[in-house]
Structure 1
Amino acid sequence: MPLVPPPRPAASPAADIPPTSVLTANQPEWSVGELAGALKRTLEDAFGHVRLRGEISGYRGQHGSGHAYFSLKDGQARIDAVVWKGVFGRLRQKPQEGLEVVATGRITTFAGKSSYQIVIESLEPAGLGAWMALLEERKKLLAAEGLFAPEHKRAIPYLPGVVGVVTSPTGAVIRDILHRLEDRFPRPVLVWPVRVQGDGAAEEVAAAIRGFNALGPSSAIPRPDVLIVARGGGSIEDLWAFNEECVVRAAFESAIPLISAVGHETDTTLIDYVSDRRAPTPTGAAEMAVPVRADLIATVSDLSARAIGSIGRRVERDRSDLRALARALPSADALLAAKRQRLDLAEARLAPALAAGASRHRARLQLLLDRMARRSPDVALANARARLARIDHRPLTALRNDVQRKGEALAQLGRRLVVARDASLERARALQARRADRLVALSNRLTQAGLRGVERRRDRLEGLAHLLGSLSYRAVLERGYVLVRDAAGLPVRHAAEAVAASRLSLQFADGTVHAVPDGTADPSVSAKPARRAARTQPASGAETGKRTPASTAAPTRQGSLF
């Protein structure tokens, strides 16, 4: 529809207008609203209802008003889409991020943004989009390697000394994290600046995670106790850097506990599955990293007061118990009276017992002295020297004889071992020769069997190829027959169907020719097939008084060309 400017009042003639100004004054003037309205009418008239296929991107659920806003895209372009609140409740297929759909609706413009959009009236699923299909495939491969296993998850330190953050230094994410840490429990923060979307973003994020892990105790920069990888919300393309394999593997290899905070609560990336904790937002990641300092102070104060009170009550209870036990104890005189009496009796018996013991030991000592006088040590020593002189060199001779006998036995055993070793080696060589001959025979048989099997399968394949060529309908076309199809690609079996078709394709053996029937049929062709097709329609339409559409007739089977 051409853009027609609105009528304008004729300008009053002015004799003093220069020629160059007259040409400018004759051009029509548009207001912004008029131009936007004309463009809207042109677009809606040229594109009324359309069916559009694309992948849903940027869907974040229903707006507070109940409407839903997102985009439809493919590999070349994208278009904004809106689903009004009343239509959203009637949709059988609800929008989902990354889902490929076929949308039916009206193309219109939105003057507030100088953009065009599609107002969707119905949605039909068309399969997963390319991004989501790639994401699911990569997720399955990494899960099969065990990167998402729960046993690899580590606990987040309760109160980290240093917090490391991997994010963009210019976005609102780092400000939210710093403000939240300042409110809860101020901690030193190390920021590793990276790009969070676009080319090279995934490599920078992976390098930042590995860089934090490379810091050691002797480094000038302290090593963080916990890492936060954060980014704001966005579409699946904006968050794709956190689905790259290098980022997932760097997070899995990190020795420092890692919290992922990528996108909003509804966004899910692969780093969320491999991280030790997943936060719904960057602010939530800061809350997971540190406790609330005021709550800790209050808890410590409460525990301290409870401990002091408990200790005081325990001391008072022990003091009361001690007083009660002291009252129940007997006096010192009562406890020591019996002991004193036993001591006195023992003292009275001690002197006679000592005298008797001394007398017994004196008699025993005298007896030992008498025995020693009768058997002097000098006599025993002389007797021992005489026995040693009689023995002389007999032990040395016995030892030499024993060594000689054992040497002869050892030599005989060595000769037997040599003979046994030679016999064993001879048997092993014979066995090895027999096995080598058998292996050569088996190898020859295996080679012959393989050749015979390949030959049998080659003969069978050639027979099947000949059979396929003889049964193919193209062999029939080689003999001069033609295969006729209608515009839908279905075979045409009767002349009446050919006359009724708008366009025909004639397939010959060497190619296909398109033809248009002239609407006439050879009167020599019998109309019986058409009447027979009419009689084969179901009788339910006639019984109910309704017309049965021709498209509901039972399809006939294609006849043989042989």
Structure 2
Amino acid sequence: MTQVLTNATEFTVSEIAQAVKRTVEDEFGHVRVRGEISGFRGQHSSGHAYFTLKDDAASIDAVVWKGNYARLTFKPEEGLEVIATGRLTTFPRSSKYQIVIDNIEPAGAGALMALLEERRRKLLAEGLFARERKRPLPYLPRVIGVVTSPTGAVIRDILHRLADRFPSHVLLWPVRVQGETCAPEVVNAIEGFNALAPDGPIPRPDLLIVARGGGSIEDLWGFNEEAVVRAVAASRIPVISAVGHETDTTLIDYASDMRAPTPTAAAEAAVPVRTELIAYVEDQGSRQRQAARRSLASLRDRLRAAGAGLPRPGDLVAMQRQSLDLASSQLSGALRHFVQSRRLVFSNLAAAFQPRLVRQRRAELLEKLAHLDHRGAAGLGKTIERARLTYVPCARQLAGAAAQSLERKHTALARLAPRLSPQPLEAELRHARSRAAPLADRLAQAGAQAISARRQRLDQFEKLLDTLSYRNVLARGYTLVQDDAGGVVSSAAKLRPGDALRLTFADGETGAIVAGTPPSRRKPTRPAPDDESQESLF
């Protein structure tokens, strides 16, 4: 069996599991997953919640820790479609990956949220949100540019926090932070800061902060505009986005180099604490001096100990010198013994190579060779004679048989010559073509007519299908109501509070839960307009 040698590194199962865990957590540190809750049975005895998020093609295990579960504004329920925010991790003991959920939101979006989701997917496909595009922030920026309203509390919070931590030179580019002119003004501010010369009269910032206070999605919509996202992604200066409060998320948060939950947190991320930095530098200097002294003392002690343990040079070669003297004294005796042993071997072999024995052996071999030559010549003669007796009669018959076969061939060709003339063959070919031409024309006409008839019939079926389709009814404002099993609900008496429904409109589907009293005791009321809004898509 051949053994295959390799120098590949061997890993333990734990090392592989930990490497996969680190990779998944680094690449998916913050994700939002949309899916249907399955397998939820309430909180575990430990206070944690375990369930599965699934769609029509896949599923993923989910866990909500006890502390996060108490802070959830929207509690998970079996069968609901939700948007979960958290991070991906792995469970090495069973080789599974799961999402650790920090927040849960009900799924469903209006026209504005659908537009925001479409825009987010478009920009994501272009790579504007890629992690490799994000740049590290400068550790100690000399000049900080702030893009925000000059009259709001945001700029005062940023200036106050910078003064407490590390006083820095701040340049304010005033903009409107909501309304129709918000997006172009923010774009002009970012591009204007990038256009400043590094050594010009107005110094170019080392870091930009785009900030505003919290608000509804309509108030923050200016920071979801495509032009603003592209300006942030194209900025040569690192950008910190601090739009809204901690739960608010806009598209520039994904394109910026860092997202801060609040404007104050943006100021804290921009600069270090000056007093802590001074203390850290002094502590590092003191530790460096002490480490240098300890290292020098240790090296001095090691050198002294190593010098004391070294042997004298004469002692290092004394043993080798003695071995050399012993070998030289034994060399002459060993050579004499070797010569005597070789002479004895040659004398024993010389008796077997005497001239009389060699001549006798040569005569025996010559006699044997002559005997074999005589036997070979006699056998060859007999073989030739047997072959002559076998093939001579056959050779005499071969000429006559060949002449008869050739005569038969000539006779057959003479009979077929009149039938193989070219004129009858051409006439027969023209006749076959004249008969086939009308048949081909009729076949082409019949095929065209059949195809036209089938196309007309298909068009009639398509019109009939459009006429009878329930989609036309939905387009007039009606809704198709189905239960969680997919059956059509045709009567309100079949519904109970808490039942999960799927509503199909002309432009899509959404989920619903039956609320209120049973239909038998419920009074008909006019449905109120749907004023439920969603705070954020992400």
Same fold per superposition (TM over 0.5): no
TM-score by length of 1: 0.38
Question: Which of the two has higher C-alpha Rg?
Answer: 1
Greater relative CO, 1 or 2 (CA 8 Å, sep 6+): 2
TM-score by length of 2: 0.40
